[in-house]
Amino acid sequence: MQTMTQRVFNFSSGPAVLPEAVLLQVQRDLYSYPGAGMSVMEMSHRSAAFDGILAEAEANVRALGGISDDYAVLFLQGGASLQFSMLPMNLLTPGRSADYVITGVWGQKAIAEARKVGAVRVAGSTEESGFRRVPTQDELQLDPHAAYVHVTTNNTIYGTQWPDMPEVGDVPLVVDASSDIFSGPLDVPRFGVIYAGAQKNLGPSGVTLVVIRKELLTRSAAGLPTMLNYAVQAEHGSRYNTPNIFGIYVLALVTRWMLDQGGLRPIGEHNARKAAALYGEIDRTGFYRGHAEPEARSRMNITFRLRDASLEDAFAVAATREGLDGLKGHRSVGGLRASMYNAFPEAGVDALVQFMREFERIHG
């Protein structure tokens, strides 16, 4: 087997690139976590060492998002996909209906699961545009009595992102923020629930962050399966059973790294700079073209085509050879996709822009 000691620029949509400083720290502490004399993988989830790790993970998440005590911060399992079920099981109480805004496949999957639990309405959809945009406020038909409104903040596959969250009045706004959580400033009090699989901006897969307004926990019926009950998970501090302790440990380090960067404002500026550099190149000559409508362009997942689509495979293959990995688009959209989460370095964007210019020079 070929060994690879060099790291590539990893444009994967998730699991995705992690901060180098975090990887090195994990490597240093892998064999023996300081003070514990054992690896994090080997320690009890009730140990003092893990108490500290879990407390730090929660404190970092709260510090980053300015999240008050009005919210519970949970570290669950089952990915964002389990939240598609868990959310309606807890919040879609009998006799009510929930609004879903559909801006891509993940929203479709979320509403499909909710439909198995109770009544749902489509309050808006951009499917007719091939999910190249998100709805305007005027296009939404919101039920003022809805149990909640569900929105996917960033559409990983299509490369669209809401520039602002919609106005939903007094109805709790619930967001799947899996692919843009903590990618810039976040106005937490606007949300009832924020959930995200960790594997893009927060750490490795296997941990799902759920930030839920505590007053919503009263909706969780006692008859729910215990593991799927938000109130039980909150009461037990995410330790009703054995949580993903290694994943939470890495998440604690990633969120510590984010605080070291100065928090969400500078992180947002960094992401904006990276996205502007790549969209600038996509728009420069017409050899490339962006998939998403300009107003809805994502800063995290940048989807683009080549004018001559028959060159797209060659582009991805040649890019991989140059150490630019993971650029092939999702099979449902085709083309190319550069995912550039928080930990993705500016040098990687520069390298991609250089590669795009060279590819255009040869094939343009």
- Catalytically active residues are 106, 176, 200
- Given a contact cutoff of 8 angstroms between Cβ atoms, the answer to whether 117 and 67 are in contact is no
Pick out residues in 163-182 that bind ligand PMP (CB under 6 A): 176, 178-179
In the list 10, 11, 14, 184, the residue contacting ligand PMP (rule: CB under 6 A) is 14
- The CA distance from 162 to 332, in Å, is 21
Q: Which residue is nearest to ligand PMP (CB)?
A: 79
Establish whether the linkage from the previous residue to 15 is cis, with ω within 30° of 0: yes
SS3 304: strand
CB of 150 to ligand PMP, least distance (A): 11
Instruction: Mark residue 263 as left, alpha or beta (left: phi above 0; alpha: psi -120 to 50; beta: remaining).
Output: left
With both helix axes pointing from N to C terminus, report the angle between 105-115 and 79-91 in degrees, rounded to the nearest 10. Answer: 40
Closest CA to 304 of 273, 270, 278: 278
CB of 130 to ligand PMP, least distance (A): 17
In the list 12, 60, 125, 156, the residue contacting ligand PMP (rule: CB under 6 A) is 156
Helix (H) or strand (E) holding 194: strand 193-197
In the list 81, 108, 129, 261, the residue contacting ligand PMP (rule: CB under 6 A) is 81
Pick out residues in 35-54 that bind ligand PMP (CB under 6 A): none
For residue 79, state whether it binds ligand PMP (rule: CB under 6 A).
yes
Torsion, Cα 344 345 348 353, to 10 degrees, reads 100
Considering the complex, state which of residue 133 and residue 311 has its C-beta at the smaller distance from ligand PMP: 133
Considering the complex, state which of residue 80 and residue 234 has its C-beta at the smaller distance from ligand PMP: 80
For residue 134, state whether it binds ligand PMP (rule: CB under 6 A).
no
Which residue, chain included where needed, has tokens 């509403």? 111
CB of 242 to ligand PMP, least distance (A): 19
CB of 197 to ligand PMP, least distance (A): 3
φ, ψ for residue 166 (rounded to 5)?
A: -70, 155
Considering the complex, state which of residue 90 and residue 156 has its C-beta at the smaller distance from ligand PMP: 156
CB of 318 to ligand PMP, least distance (A): 26
Residues engaged in binding ligand PMP (CB under 6 A): 14, 79-81, 106, 152, 156, 176, 178-179, 197
